[in-house]
Amino acid sequence: MSPRARKAIESADVVVGYDTYLKLATEVIGNKETFGSGMMQEIERCQAAVDLALNGKNIAVISSGDPGIYGMAGLILELAMQHSSDIRPEVTVIPGISAVSAAAALLGAPLMHDFAVISLSNLLTPWEVIRKRVEMAAAADFVIALYNPKSVKRVTQIEEVREILLQHRPATTPVGIVHHATRPEEKQVIATLDNFTQEFIDMFSLVIIGNSQTVVREGRMITPRGYQL
């Protein structure tokens, strides 16, 4: 959590967020009033935040590591902009530390060159679209970071991603898997493209697949930028 984000939570009248995120931020929230809801209730949650703000409350919306990266910033802005500018609550998007950035730092320096970030969740995006994006990123030799790589019900997609990547880069390509980045349960492992799906992966994991130049040295993933040493 960035200092600016912490300050926003501490100065809020009400803290709104996904139930799991509210629990993770209990220490910062303290005894403040909260409004939480579960998965697939994003619209209702964000609407509640806007409504509370319209009533004069100072609201902090907790939305993953960075609200503008698979977070609620866009939805909050869309809902707020449904109101005329004279009554619309002011919305400030406060950048945080994204999961991809936190995970990359733990693995070494895998994002030193161009990379693509793709969510494998098909709740809001058809799998055919996601698959196409993976294929294009693989063909372009991007380092690829995967959000929402695997859930209890969604287990085959990451295997498809592996097969797609094997068509474009060596089986020995390094793949880093970080579980619960920056949290107490944090752990990471570096595998290879041919066997990384055998590792434990869930919705709290982030997977970073190296490009054709990515190497592992002394347990650290490094994607060279191209400097001549």
pLDDT at 74: 97
pLDDT at 228: 87
The string of pLDDT tens digits covering residues 123-169 is 999 999 999 999 999 999 999 999 999 999 999 999 999 999 999 99
pLDDT at 64: 87
pLDDT at 114: 98
Q: How does DSSP assign the chain, residue by residue?
A: --HHHHHHHHH-SEEEEEHHHHHHTHHHHTT-EEEEE-TT-HHHHHHHHHHHHHTT--EEEE-SS-TTSSSSHHHHHHHHTTS-TTTPPP--------HHHHHHHHHEETTSS-EEEEE---SSS-HHHHHHHHHHHHHTT-EEEEES---SS--SHHHHHHHHHHTTS-TT-EEEEEESTTSTT-EEEEEETTTGGGS---TTEEEEE--TT-EEETTEEE-------
Please state which CATH number belongs to domain 3-80.
3.40.1010.10
pLDDT at 162: 98
Q: Tell me which residues of the chain have a pLDDT lower than 70.
A: none
Q: Where exactly are the structural domains of the chain?
A: 3-80, 99-222
pLDDT at 105: 98
pLDDT at 229: 85
pLDDT at 136: 98
- Can you identify the CATH homologous superfamily of domain 99-222? Tetrapyrrole methylase, C-terminal domain (3.30.950.10)
pTM of the shown model: 0.94
